[in-house]
Structure 1
């Protein structure tokens, strides 16, 4: 696998976890933030040649861009950078979950679809939203002998292929979960999981039967 140039929009926990793992796997990282000091600190923490930049430079200089931003902020930034994001693979990992574990998108477009509308030239993929940042720090995320499966939603086959490479770089298994219109299913699943994990301390892995029994 050839190294990818990956721009990170954001300097929070998800940006830190994913950028660190990708940099260690040999990909070239640009850490973009509005706050230059935060971008410098994160790039220094990530190491492996990661460089701090502004948001626009992170987008313009990269083949793949991760929007590691809170719900709402992602679409706002994508709108500002729509020309810089044209043609890029743009990965959305946001969870639009609010107080009471309520899905903030309601019956409207998903967070990923809002990102695509804000930057119509970008090749948007929904991924990495079902796990807390701590899971992405595991090397690799393997549970009961099984690598973690990561569902991907998107319309562009090439963008899905590139995102799948980044999933494998984490030691995980990519699973195509349909077009971008299915992103709302991943976001609703995250809302359900968070409700059960946080609200009831439930083991969500116990919700589904093993594959041989799944379809009767």
Structure 2
């Protein structure tokens, strides 16, 4: 699969590396083309880089892995509003969390839903937002000998299939939690977890779950 990576930070770097190892082709795009080229070079000699628009239309899927406040401007620069991204799976891994009060900055409409409104015809899926980049770097991400469960939310079955494949390719277990409006629940969960982690709670004991 060809995947455009929008961003050149930690999440972009880790997921791009994992997917490249799994045999996918990636292209790095960023507003700072120098950073995009630097990341592409680290990933391999044949990994291309370019502008936000070039990466967004590179393949059938695009990962949005930039600072949450930059997502909408980046999509506009990539041509989302004119239908350029129609038919593509857009993966939103961002958490629009204000780290002073650890609350969401998006109100009643999740960032993922805002993306869907801005990019008509695209297949928006919320995924990969529940863990730090260090977890995605694990090969594979397993805890107590169990694969990491990765919740995904979206309205398009084909988009969810694409993301589920990408989850499995890094050793995770996709879990469909329902339509895109449930992305706001995933973002709210992340806000709670981030707040707890900032207070020093051990990452593995933030949620104490007991199987029935």
By the TM > 0.5 criterion, same fold?
Answer: yes
Q: Contact (CA 8 Å) 1:29, 1:49: kept in 2 or not?
A: no
Structure 1 48/208 Cα, relative in aligned 2: closer, same or farther at 3 Å? farther
List gaps (5 residues or longer) in structure 1: none
Q: Structure 1: how far apart are the matches of 2:154 and 2:47? A: 27
Structure 1 202/50 Cα, relative in aligned 2: closer, same or farther at 3 Å? same
Tell me the matched-pair count. 208
* Structure 2 residue aligned with 1:49: 46
Q: Structure 2: how far apart are the matches of 1:194 and 1:175? A: 21
Q: Structure 1: how far apart are the matches of 2:154 and 2:62? A: 14
Q: Structure 2: how far apart are the matches of 1:111 and 1:182? A: 11
Q: Structure 2: how far apart are the matches of 1:206 and 1:71? A: 24
Q: Contact (CA 8 Å) 2:196, 2:206: kept in 1 or not?
A: no
Structure 1 10/207 Cα, relative in aligned 2: closer, same or farther at 3 Å? closer
Map 1:19-58 to 2 at 5 A: 19-47=16-44, 49-58=46-55
* Structure 2 residue aligned with 1:146: 146
Q: Contact (CA 8 Å) 1:11, 1:39: kept in 2 or not?
A: yes
Q: Structure 1: how far apart are the matches of 2:155 and 2:204? A: 28
Structure 1 90/198 Cα, relative in aligned 2: closer, same or farther at 3 Å? same
Q: CA RMSD in A?
A: 1.5
Map 1:6-155 to 2 at 5 A: 6-47=3-44, 49-80=46-77, 81-82=79-80, 83-98=83-98, 99-106=100-107, 108-155=108-155
Report the Cα offset of residue 100 of structure 1.
2.3
Structure 1 203/9 Cα, relative in aligned 2: closer, same or farther at 3 Å? closer
* Structure 1 residue aligned with 2:207: 207
Runs of 4+ in 1 over 2 A off after TM superposition: 202-211
- Which deviations, in whole Å up to 9, do the C-alpha atoms of 1:81-137 show, x marking residues without a partner? 21321110000011011122121123x200101111111221100000011111111
Q: Contact (CA 8 Å) 1:196, 1:204: kept in 2 or not?
A: no
State TM-score, norm by structure 1: 0.91
Question: Could you say what secondary structure the match of 1:19 adopts?
Answer: helix
Q: Structure 1: how far apart are the matches of 2:66 and 2:116? A: 15
